[in-house]
Structure 1
């Protein structure tokens, strides 16, 4: 799969319509993202920017047109580990206690499968991913003991552990502290320099302005701007949050590329007993 210049494309949409059930949110979109690019997907509340990204991951349904990811039609990519995903939720929560290492290790499953044995290279990738987000000294601590910003960094490390060629992130800087935003910017700078393609849905371009070079603005389900990041900036340097579609990530009719979640005890309500 190549673009018109002959350069291989990581993402390509042609006449694509994406939505939930049979209702299109994104309509007739043409978009090509080349390998190694760092692209911000911007748009106002309800514009469709999150739905566009979800269509690449099987979390929204491709209703019409063509969507290709790393050379394969969406849903047919055999090596799921080639794509990393950081969801919009800010923390790791739930009922099962887990350490930072255990959560990030889940990121290796797309490379090995649910029943594949993890080897030394997998353990090394996990350690490197945790170190990359600045949490090497918290590796054996329960995720529940971390701040919200640190838990967000754990989710980033989980995606990085698969050593993906394409990394899709949904609002990675929203609701986290400045230190975590700076750490994320450093991580993405290194990932981009190593050749990882970045597709970042965000309403805060400022923290990642040094990493993202191209912007795609989605307006009423269509792309209204595609060019240098600076040319798409809102006066305040930010855009409103986009909550297109259902608030929870819908399953839809496509495949799910998001990784299995590992949760912690922190969010369990007290019910008494053991």
Structure 2
């Protein structure tokens, strides 16, 4: 079986400065893994390295059987970044934002086919927002906007979903809703890698923990055993000290359906 994630003596960082050093890690398909660590430990840099957003400075990093940056079908990996509210100068509906998630499957200039529209609808239904499909995302609460961005990642029907601090800064009800969504995603066989400093809301979903400590893995095992290896420090927006890497904005190119909407 090809591993979903495989790192061998991997060093990851920015420019020529490593933040994560000498890491060995294997995640099998279908696993649900929490990446934990204190401020500045390197946990976000580790996730960014898997996405090609931080440089692999040494060793090997493979995702879904291919070296980072060489995976032909980018839609096989979904990503929900740290900054989870949707903002921009151009209004967009929930349908339009989630439709952007199909770009990885379609290419930039293709229209949504019936199967693509169904994938968008399924992704929105998965996060419990079917009744808001036509609403502007600006009218939603912060927690609902976060779920829209999860749906955007799910619309590509990824095999691996990487999330950075998905429960930070939202109310308990939104955390519970997200946990229910991720439980369904995990049950479908999707591999989950969640960078977080609070596993409580997702304790029923995440089964394995990797604790990053000063750029190295200090613990890798059952989630229940991770607490004594992590100081539970509060998360800062970016543990690397680098400028944030932006994902899609709602004012980027839209996906249009066959019906012209």
> Could you tell me the TM-score, scaled by structure 2's length?
0.92
2:207 matches 1:213: yes
Partner of 2:239: 244
The Cα offsets for residues 151-172 of structure 1, whole Å up to 9 and x where unpaired, read as 1111100000000000000000
The aligned residue for residue 151 of structure 1 is 145
For structure 1, the 5+ residue unaligned runs are 1-6, 251-257, 265-274
Where does residue 250 of structure 2 map in the other structure? 262
- TM norm structure 1: 0.88
Inter-partner Cα distance in structure 2 for 1:43 and 1:113: 36
Paired position in structure 2 for 1:268: none
Q: Which of 112, 117, 121 in structure 2 is aligned with 1:127? A: 121
Partner of 1:106: 100
The 2-side partners of 1:193 and 1:74 are apart by 26
The correspondence of residues 195-206 of structure 1 with structure 2, limited to 5 A, is 195-206=189-200
Supply the RMSD in Å over aligned alpha carbons.
Answer: 1.8
How many equivalent residue pairs?
251
Contact 1:170/1:201 (8 A) holds in 2: yes
Q: Which position in structure 2 is the counterpart of 1:21? A: 15
User: C-alpha displacement at 1:244, in angstroms?
Assistant: 1.9
Q: Contact between 1:205 and 1:238, CA under 8 Å: does it hold in 2?
A: no
Provide runs of 4+ in structure 1 moved above 3 Å: 234-239
Q: CA deviation at 1:67?
A: 0.3
Listed as ranges, the gaps of 5+ residues in structure 2 are 253-261
Give the secondary-structure state (helix, strand or coil) at the position aligned to 1:64: strand
Would you say 1:81 and 2:75 are equivalent positions? yes
Query: Where does residue 257 of structure 2 map in the other structure?
Result: none
